[in-house]
Structure 1
Amino acid sequence: MQVREGYAEFRGYRTWFRVTGDLNSGRLPLIVAHGGPGCTHDYVDSFKDLAATGRAVVHYDQVGNGRSTHLPGVSPDFWTVALFLAELDNLIEHLEISDYALLGQSWGGMLGAEHAVRQPAGLKALIIANSPASMALWSEAADELRQALPREVQATLLRHETAGTTDSAEYHAAAEVFYARHVCRVQPVPAEVERTNVAIEEDPTVYHAMNGPTEFHVIGSMRHWSIIDRLPRILVPTLLISGRFDEATPATVQPFADGISDVRWQIFEQSSHMPHVEEREACMACVDGFLAPFG
């Protein structure tokens, strides 16, 4: 299998990318945008499986993360949706990709929706995986899921959030109870997921600025984000993916199903936030089937 890695220069920084397969194979390439904001490509690495069908798969680390340029000293307001949209545009131009499908997972799906509402000429298909249509809905869902946690776990989370001690080991341990239920049900988490988790711990700059200390305590700049009223502008065929136990609950995904004209939705019954890990073969088959008509 042909694999190419490199860097795209972007505003004086560098975006790391990897292309698995041949971009000139004649099949529509798939670009994969990871979540966070502030994760790395590692935990969505499994989508490279689709290159076995002859379709090139492009992974990249968004600036600030992974193998791309890190900027731990910048002001939190540096990190914006517009920045990451411009970076994605730059990567597409750098790789000289004319037509493509875009798959975004979690925050990556939010970014993908933001990309799609602009109706770029090259975008032919969109996959929004495990993403909310607004952070208000995400926070509401998180509150409901938290209420189902053991009482002592709930109390620990609230105590540290109130005290501002969310960097404590006790808080992290309590958060792991939520993560094992609603983020990745494969325990211990696979190596590629752990690599992303370690990377966030080593440099949480982007995650803390845009999201917050945990998945369910959103106090960063994205806390008021919504794309619900702009969804009718997405005109390309769209696949929605979520898990039955997903922190992106059906209520958070429903606006995508209601607002996008050409849309289908697959819920993976044994998965939470990572069907591409938890039900890998079934998830790849679903994505492959959706993309097959596009070549």
Structure 2
Amino acid sequence: MKQFLLAFSAIVLMFSCVKNEENKQVTIKESDYFNVRTEGVQTGGIQLIPIETPIGKFKVWTKRFGNNPKQKVLLLHGGPGSTHEYFECFESFLPKEGIEFIYYDQLGSTYSDQPTDTSLWTIERFVEEVEQVRTALGLTKGNFFLLGHSWGGILAMEYALKYQDNLKGLIISNMMSSCIDYDKYAEEVLAKQMPASAVDSIRMLEAKGDFGNPKYMDILMTHFYPKHVCRMPVEQWADPMNRGLSKTNQQIYVIMQGPSEFGISGRLEKWDRKNDLKNIKVPTLIIGGTHDTMDPKHMEWMAKEVQNGSFLLCPNGSHMSMYDDQQTYMQGVINFIKQVQ
């Protein structure tokens, strides 16, 4: 599903209005939004950005969609190690509102360089990568919105805690502020919603480290993923989501997250920023789903802990609320971006 939303090019649409420094109205028209802003050979908005790491230089893949001088949203995908592709549903919503957004495959993900040195897979290094991407794309305090989903939400929180002076707004989508609390929620709430025999089988296979056993994923796909990851029949999962998740870099995913979404057992296992949320001062939207893998009550609490927060609950949504409660999710994101001046 790659919808580039040019169907409405036959008519002149008026997009959202934003304020410039003189407090005058700046109207984004379709001709402005789709205007090519670079010279030479065109690449469809794709830019390979060189980044510095402790072990050398690499390149990461980005793709800009649209133009808006005041509303630029950098999307941080989950995984860790997934791809930008499951965000393609944004193309059906943000362009008609005149909101510019940027796809970005983090280092190690499919469209970016894929080094294998495991020392690279740390939160701290990923934060510095995001900052280098921001600088290369020319994103500033006056226009830079950061949206992080799942693992991307962890990365977005960490980025804000270090570099929030560069942000205009922050969106944390379907992610708690503590992996410790998430593990507790998975054990005490989510596991109890599954048949005891299924939980016992998962625990037995995990204890053996037998994650490659087809039975392991079969149990998750039957009793967990369709209820808490995406509440749609598996055979109806959207193509962008299937592509993005199927290309996950397993080295990164297992090292940082662990082998499944049913709890965290990798380097992120002890990650906890609950006590630091109070230091986030930029306008912040927290999004959660009623049926999420993440505790919606915890995410609602997060919105009260940050200095300028709001909470969006997707009542029919799970971890991929941008698909299974799409209208609620997208309208909430759009409303938040438009309200931040």
Instruction: Give the TM-score of the pair, scaled to structure 1.
Output: 0.93
Structure 1 unaligned residues grouped into runs of 5+: none
In the alignment, what sits opposite 2:190? 145
1:139 is displaced (CA, Å) by 0.4
Q: Name the SS of the counterpart of 2:88 in structure 1.
A: helix
Find out whether 1:190 has 2:238 as its counterpart.
Answer: yes
Show structure 1 runs of 4+ deviating over 6 A. Answer: none
* 1:127-146 paired onto structure 2 within 5 Å: 127-143=171-187, 144-146=189-191
1:30 to 67, 73, 81: 73
In the alignment, what sits opposite 1:40? 83
1:255 is displaced (CA, Å) by 4.5
1:240 is displaced (CA, Å) by 0.9
Q: Name the SS of the counterpart of 1:69 in structure 2.
A: coil
1:251 is displaced (CA, Å) by 4.2
Between structure 1 and structure 2, the one with the greater Rg is 2
Higher relative contact order (CA 8 A, sep 6+): 1
Find out whether 1:84 has 2:126 as its counterpart.
Answer: yes
Contact 1:5 1:18 survives alignment (8 Å): yes
Q: Which moved more, 1:236-245 or 1:48-57?
A: 48-57
2:49 to 2, 5, 8: 8
Find out whether 1:175 has 2:216 as its counterpart.
Answer: no
In the alignment, what sits opposite 1:234? 280
In the alignment, what sits opposite 2:38? none
1:156 is displaced (CA, Å) by 1.6
Contact 1:118 1:233 survives alignment (8 Å): no
Q: Name the SS of the counterpart of 2:165 in structure 1.
A: coil
Contact 2:285 2:303 survives alignment (8 Å): no
Q: Distance in 1 between matches of 2:339 and 2:110?
A: 33
1:254 is displaced (CA, Å) by 4.4
- Letter in structure 2 aligned against 1:36: G
1:145 is displaced (CA, Å) by 0.4
Q: Distance in 2 between matches of 1:20 and 1:248?
A: 30
In the alignment, what sits opposite 1:257? 303
1:140 is displaced (CA, Å) by 0.8
In the alignment, what sits opposite 2:12? none
- Letter in structure 1 aligned against 2:242: E
2:161 to 101, 111, 117: 117
Structure 2 unaligned residues grouped into runs of 5+: 1-5, 7-33, 35-43
2:138 to 73, 96, 110: 96
Q: Which moved more, 1:157-166 or 1:249-258?
A: 249-258
Q: Which moved more, 1:274-283 or 1:241-250?
A: 274-283
In the alignment, what sits opposite 1:210? 256
1:21 is displaced (CA, Å) by 0.3
Q: Distance in 1 between matches of 2:179 and 2:301?
A: 12
1:161 is displaced (CA, Å) by 0.7
Aligned alpha-carbon RMSD (Å): 1.5
CA offsets, 1:126-183, max 9 Å, x none?
A: 1111001100011011112012112221122111011110111000111112111101
Residues 10 and 121 of structure 1, relative CA distance in 2, 3 Å threshold: same
Contact 1:134 1:252 survives alignment (8 Å): no
* 1:266-277 paired onto structure 2 within 5 Å: 266-277=312-323
- The sequence identity of aligned pairs, in percent, is 27
- Letter in structure 1 aligned against 2:89: S
Instruction: Give the TM-score of the pair, scaled to structure 2.
Output: 0.81
Q: Which moved more, 1:272-281 or 1:40-49?
A: 40-49
- Letter in structure 2 aligned against 1:196: G
Q: Distance in 1 between matches of 2:339 and 2:292?
A: 28
Q: Distance in 2 between matches of 1:127 and 1:106?
A: 11
Residues 244 and 217 of structure 1, relative CA distance in 2, 3 Å threshold: closer
- Letter in structure 2 aligned against 1:191: D
In the alignment, what sits opposite 1:290? 336
